[in-house]
Copies of this chain bind each other. A is one copy, B any other.
Amino acid sequence: MAVTHFKKGELYSFITGKASTAIARRLQKKFNEAGITITIEQWSVLYHLWKGDGASQQELCNATFRDKPSITRLVDNLEKLDLVKRVAHDKDRRINKIFLTKAAQALEEQTMVLAEETLNEALAGVSQQEVEMCKEVLQRVYDNLSG
């Protein structure tokens, strides 16, 4: 039961997402330098809307692994920035469908270039095989804890 797969001293680094926060910070910096005034969290919501406009807030929760209040407030802020609009669902008035504005559509290409650039910097000297392996293991970790 107590057979651990890690050395005690390294326990901490596994719990904190050192690498992912470093990536997020780098990407945020690139946004700032490019004069793009959105946060990474806002970007992560737009990212899913670019894949398909008109998602409900609940769908955004699932897609971004956030809870409902977090999405409510992210959508609030994106609305203030005129990047998205809430539109009540025709048939079910509980549901808000979230649509991108022109301004948000214009951000897609620019930010995706910066995101790819960031990942290429992050993954310099890491083979594609290693990347796949890491992703697969991290997914397994996530699945282990989602029960």
Q: Give chain A's interface residues, CB within 8 Å of chain B.
A: 1-6, 8-27, 40, 44, 47-48, 51, 64-65, 112, 115-116, 118-128, 130-131, 133-135, 137-142, 144-146
Contact = CB atoms under 8 A, between A and B. Distances in A.
A56 B4 CA distance: 31
A33 to B, nearest CB: 15
Given A44-B15, A44-B16, A131-B5, A125 B138 contact: no
Contacts of A19: 17, 138-139, 141-142
A40 B12 CA distance: 11
Contact of A14 (B5, B14, B135): B135
A126 B122 contact: no
A105 to B, nearest CB: 17
Copies in the complex: 2
B26 A20 contact: no
A128 B23 CA distance: 25
Nearest to A3: B120
Contacts of A40: 15
B135 A10 contact: yes
